[in-house]
Amino acid sequence: MKADGDTMRELMEYGVNAPARQIFLQSLLGREEDQENNPSERVIRALLYLDRAAFCDPITLFINSGGGDVDEALAIYDVMRSIDCPVHTIGTGIVASAAGLLLAAGDTRVAMPSCWFMAHHVTADTDSDHPERQRIQQAQLEKYRDQWVRLMAECTAGTHTLRWWRKTMNSTPDSTLVRAR
């Protein structure tokens, strides 16, 4: 699939270097009212476009993100895992929180020497004074935590087990910051 000039300019504006098959995620993942500025939407569209453009040619996703919304990260994760092309991930700058799952989900993963990682327990704001609603929100939060740990274990199966991830996430302080080197 060959992109015309307008498509190429639009992709470049969205942090995609289509000829090199590179995508750049350099912001927090969040739900923006304006879908044009939603980084997850841009990454998903770019993954799908590049997957159609050249069957099975690798895509490289550069990640420099402080994380953000878990649902948004899970949406990108699902697309990364469902497309035919391999997705290689490279951590640059900081890879924190939900962005860590995206780095781990790469078919191959690399961290640049100056890259920092931050992991923490999945958190959410409880916006209710009503005890039943708080209980429901807490139950959903526990499901997110379990899903996050399970997915991280699947992505890092060669180096870390589900047991290791559960133990690490339950024994660490609220957040842990480490350097790649």
**76 lies in a domain?**
yes
**15 lies in a domain?**
yes
**153 lies in a domain?**
no
**134 lies in a domain?**
no
Domain that holds residue 109: 5-123+173-179
Q: Give the CATH number, domain containing residue 16.
A: 3.90.226.10
**114 lies in a domain?**
yes
* Number of domains the chain is built from: 1
Contact call for residues 62 and 20 (beta carbons, < 8 A) = no
**142 lies in a domain?**
no
**40 lies in a domain?**
yes
Percent of the chain's residues with pLDDT above 70? 81
Flag whether pLDDT at 82 surpasses 90: yes
d(CA 51, CA 85): 6
Specify the higher pLDDT residue, 77 or 8.
77
3-state helix, strand, coil in the chain (%, to 5): 45, 20, 35
User: Residues 102-156: pLDDT tens digits?
Assistant: 999 999 999 999 999 887 766 666 666 788 888 888 888 888 888 888 888 888 8
Catalytic positions, written as ranges? 97, 120
**72 lies in a domain?**
yes
